[in-house]
Amino acid sequence: MKRILRVQEKAFDAAAEIAALEIDSATGALVTFTGLCRDEGGTLAALEIEAYPEMAEAEIGRVVTEAERRWPLDAVLVVHRTGMIGAGEAIVLVATASAHRDEAFHAAEFLMDYLKTRAPFWKKAHRRDGSAGDWVAAKDDDEAAAARWISSKPAL
């Protein structure tokens, strides 16, 4: 199984990243997810993402290993940015490849749910009016989204 996992400041080119996975003809499904910086109704200028870099790469690796244990995957890609990310820019890219679409969809959703609650990244909001940013609070919904996988066996 091919895996590409990276934490970086610079913007990524999703098409080039996915091409680097070199998906072969055994794969029937490729799911990609891109998380973008929302402008929150025009009030947010940028998100500043802080990381615990050494742990982030290790933790992403552990989450990907768990996804591979649950679903038969041909390839996984996770690229997560840090630093200042302007409204409209991409923050995270996840791609999963499998023989069939159900596995690829489930694995991509699982990866995002787990990354949100386990990967050591923190977002600080920078407002368009220039006021001091607040740290974005963790959402109970994200915890619940991650928790639903605890009892779910690979359904496929």
Partner 1 sequence: MKARYFAWVRERIGLAEEEIAPPASVKTIADLIAWQQQRGENYAAAFANAATIRAALDRQHVKPGTPIAAAAEVAFFPPMTGG
SS3 assignment, position 59: helix
Per-position DSSP letters for 74-112, written without gaps between them = EEEEEEEE-EEEETTSEEEEEEEEESSHHHHHHHHHHHH
DSSP 129: T
Interface pick for partner 1 out of 28, 72, 117, 149 (rule CB under 8 A)? 117
Interface pick for partner 1 out of 36, 138, 144, 156 (rule CB under 8 A)? 138
Under rule CB under 8 A, which residues in 35-64 are in contact with partner 1? 35, 49-52, 54-56, 58-59
| Residue 70 binds partner 1 (CB under 8 A) | no
| Residue 105 binds partner 1 (CB under 8 A) | no
CB 70, min distance to partner 1, A: 19
CB 54, min distance to partner 1, A: 6
d(CA 108, CA 77): 10
| Residue 5 binds partner 1 (CB under 8 A) | no
d(CA 107, CA 71): 7
